[in-house]
Amino acid sequence: MATILDKIFADKKYELDDTQRAVSLSQLKDKIRLCSPTLDVRKALDSGSPRKTRIVAEVKPRSPFKGELRKGCDPLEIARIYAENGAAAISVLTEKKYFGGNLDLFAGARKAVNVPLLRKDFIFADYQVYESRASGADMFLLIATWLEKNQLQDLLSLGRELGLPALVETHHEKDLEKAFLSGADLIGINNRDLTTGKTDLGIARRLIKMAQADPRNILVCESGIHAREDVEEFEGLGARAFLVGESLMTARDIPAKLKELLGEARSHG
C-alpha cells in the first residue's frame, strides 16, 4: 500500500516532466554560471565552542498532516523575521501540492535574507540539484528513507561538484547506515515518520549516538522541537543544530518563540 511519502514522490516525478520541458538543463547550467558562491553551511551550523544554539527555521505554509499552519501568512515576511531574530539558516519548502511552497518563494527568500538557505523538497534527480543551485540554494535536502544508496551517493557527489552540500535526512538505523556509506557528513535525524506523520523524540535519543560515529558529522535534529528544554536535551546528546518548522509557524509571537528556542528569552508560544 502506497504511503503519503510514496504519493508525494510520484507526484513530484510527474511534475518534474513538465518542469524540464519548460526550463532545460542547459538553461539551468547557464544560470548557475551567474550565481554568487554559496554561503558556508558548515560554519553556520557548527556551533563550535563556546556552544551557541543553531536553529534552521522553516518557512512551511502547510503540511499534509496538519493542513494550513498559519492562516494568511506572508512567507517572505516570516523568512525576514527568522533572519532578524537569530536563525542560523532558513529552510524553505518548495513542494507545492502538499506543503504550499514553490521555487518563486525560494527565490524571493534568497533576495530577502543573507543567511544560508536550505531547499527542502523531494529530490531524486540530477535536474533538481542543478535547479536548487540555480535558484540560490546553499544546501538541499535528500531523504534517505526513500532514496537508494547509489542514488543518494550520486546526488551528494553532484551537489559537491556544484558547491552545494546536502542535508541527508534519516529516520532509522538503516537510513543512517545508508548515509554513512554514501559519504554524508551533514546528517538530519527526523523525529517524524514521513509515511504516517507520527512524531517521536525517542528517534533522536536513539540515533544521535550512532550518528556520532564520525566526529566530523554535523547532526541536525528535526521535528518535534517545541521548547528550550528539548533543545538543551539534544544538545547534550550531541546535536549541533535544530530544524524547526511547525513550532515557529504556529507560534503567536514568532520572534519570541525563536528567541526562546535559542535560549535568549522565554515564550508562552
Domain segments of the chain as ranges: 49-262
Write down the pLDDT at residue 76: 95
* Nearest by Cα to 59 from 36, 38, 90, 81: 90
pLDDT tens for the chain, 269 residues: list them.
Answer: 678 888 999 999 999 999 999 999 999 999 999 999 999 999 999 866 556 899 999 999 998 888 888 888 899 999 999 999 999 999 999 999 999 999 999 999 999 999 999 999 999 999 999 999 999 999 999 999 999 999 999 999 999 999 999 999 999 999 999 999 999 999 999 999 988 889 999 999 999 988 888 888 999 999 999 999 999 999 999 999 999 999 999 999 999 999 999 999 754 55
Write down the pLDDT at residue 212: 86
Cα separation, 237 vs 244, whole angstroms: 18
What is the set of active-site residues?
A: 58, 60, 120, 169, 190, 222-223
Write down the pLDDT at residue 66: 86
Place of cell 545508508: 178
3-state secondary structure the chain: CCCHHHHHHHHHHHHHHHHHHHCCHHHHHHHHHCCCCCCCHHHHHCCCCCCCCCEEEEECCEECCCEECCCCCCHHHHHHHHHHCCCCEEEEECCCCCCCCCHHHHHHHHHHCCCCEEEECCCCCHHHHHHHHHCCCCEEEEECCCCCHHHHHHHHHHHHHCCCCEEEEECCHHHHHHHHHHCCCEEEEECECCCCCCECCHHHHHHHHHHCCCCCCEEEEECCCCCHHHHHHHHHHCCCEEEECHHHHCCCCHHHHHHHHHCCCCCCC
Cell of 261: 528556542
| pTM of the predicted model as reported, rounded to 2 decimal places | 0.94
Architecture of domain 49-262: Alpha-Beta Barrel (3.20)
Write down the pLDDT at residue 216: 86
